[in-house]
Each structure stands twice: as structure tokens, then as C-alpha cells.
Amino acid sequence: MKLPEAYYHNPDVVAVSKDLIGKYLFTSIDGETTGGYIVETEAYAGVIDRASHSFGGKVTPRTKTMYMQGGVSYVYLCYGIHEMFNIVTSVEGQPHAILIRAIQPTHGLDIMMLRRNMETVKPNITKGPGSLAKALGISRKINALSMLSDIIWIEDRGLTFPDEEVAAGPRIGVDYAGEDALLPYRFYVKGNIYVSKPNK
């Protein structure tokens, strides 16, 4: 069953990031349903987080999505090539978001292979935020869309990982953020082959 609207209103974005590990993310785009369970996330904690687009309360046409009430998507283009998929959390006016960095695919593997131009299923089919978005068919058309829509949603299927199998560490690719780059806002399943970068 889909996670309820209230799940996304939690003001503690770091706690939600950890809780999302093991939840199932689905998309239904162009008539094709694809999905899998989340194995890696990163929290971006609003105006006080130097690594976040919304640091210092910055509002632009792009980042205004982050200020919406929790429960919508935030998709943007990075490096001119890669779409990144985030989930906005907390209440309106609090620009909290969670970057989904990797999932373990369970549904629509053949569709993902087509989208990724791959002949066989390899771990890197959904490893890393850019790859994951492409495999699931996520594009900027999906920006600011409700997570309870029929296009994109998250389900709780009862899968959980014990604390000792979920690791926390510094976020990836945010070296420019100074001390905030060291915050343990990244969560991942230890040893999972779909987790990007260090996974031990």
C-alpha cells in the first residue's frame, strides 16, 4: 500500500531518509510500470544545510519546489546530462528533500534495460541517482508531482532492514559544502550491490 500523505510531513528529514530504506518506489510512465526497493538515500536539510540548493533560504524558479508541503517530487538536471530524483518532506516553507541514490530493481526489469540501452541486467542499471532516474523514466516533467499520484509513488511492503545493516556516512559529491559535507546524512544498506560508491 502507498505511504500516506502524513508520512511525508515529518519535520525530521534525516529520520525519514533512514526510514525510506527498504520502501518500494514505483513509477508508471508511458504505460510502463517499473520499481524496486530503496537501498540508498541522502537527506538535504533545508536552509541551514550548505549542500542544499535551498541553503540560506534561497528561492528560485527551480528550488521553489523544495518549499512545497512534503509529499511531492523534486526533479532537476545536473551537469547538463543527469536528472536527479528527490522527495520533498516536512511542511510548506521548510525546503527539506531526500535524494534517492539507488534502488534494487524488482519490477519492469525489461523496461529498465530498454531505457538504459543495456542488453543484460547489471547492478549499475539503477546504481547512482542519474542512472536510477533514467531506468525509472523520471524526467523534469515529473517535477512537483504528488507522491500519491498514479505516475509515481512509494509503497510499504513490510520490508525492513535491522539497524546493523543500515549504515550512515557523509554525502557524495558535495565537497563544496565545507563542514556540512561531513554530516552523516547518507543512508545505505551495507554491502548491497546496487549501492553507489563505498557500501561497506
Partner DNA sequence: GAGATGATTAGCT
Partner DNA sequence: GCTAATCATCTCC
CA-to-CA separations, 86 to 74, 120, 150, 163, in angstroms, rounded: 5, 27, 17, 23
Please name the residues in contact with 58: beta carbons below 8 A apart, sequence gap of 6 or more.
Answer: none
Q: Of 6-14, 44-52, 105-113, 161-169, which segment contacts DNA by CB under 7 A?
A: 44-52
Min dist. Cβ of residue 200 to DNA (A): 15
Indicate the burial class of 109 (C-beta count within 10 angstroms; 0-12, 13-18, 19 or more). middle
Min dist. Cβ of residue 151 to DNA (A): 19
Asked if residue 52 binds DNA (CB under 7 A), the reply is: yes
DSSP state of 170: P
If binding means CB under 7 A, how many residues of this protein chain bind DNA?
A: 39
d(CA 134, CA 93): 29
- The closest of 19, 5, 17, 76 to 45, measured between CA atoms, is 17
Among 9, 47, 76, 151, interactor with DNA by CB under 7 A: 76
d(CA 182, CA 27): 32
Asked if residue 169 binds DNA (CB under 7 A), the reply is: no
Asked if residue 200 binds DNA (CB under 7 A), the reply is: no
Cα 176 to chain centroid, rounded: 21
Min dist. Cβ of residue 142 to DNA (A): 13
Asked if residue 196 binds DNA (CB under 7 A), the reply is: yes
Among 14, 25, 39, 66, interactor with DNA by CB under 7 A: 66
Contact 89, 13 (CB under 8 A): yes
DSSP state of 148: B
Asked if residue 60 binds DNA (CB under 7 A), the reply is: yes
Among 99, 136, 154, 167, interactor with DNA by CB under 7 A: 99
Give the up-direction half-sphere exposure of residue 66: CA atoms within 13 A in the CB hemisphere. 26
Asked if residue 9 binds DNA (CB under 7 A), the reply is: no
Q: How many CB atoms lie within 10 A of CB 29?
A: 17
Question: Which of residues 51 and 147 has its CB atom nearest to DNA in the complex?
Answer: 51
Among 29, 32, 47, 77, interactor with DNA by CB under 7 A: 77
Asked if residue 138 binds DNA (CB under 7 A), the reply is: no
Binding site for DNA (CB under 7 A): 42, 44, 51-54, 58, 60-63, 66, 74, 76-82, 84, 86, 97, 99, 116, 124, 127-132, 140, 171-174, 176, 196
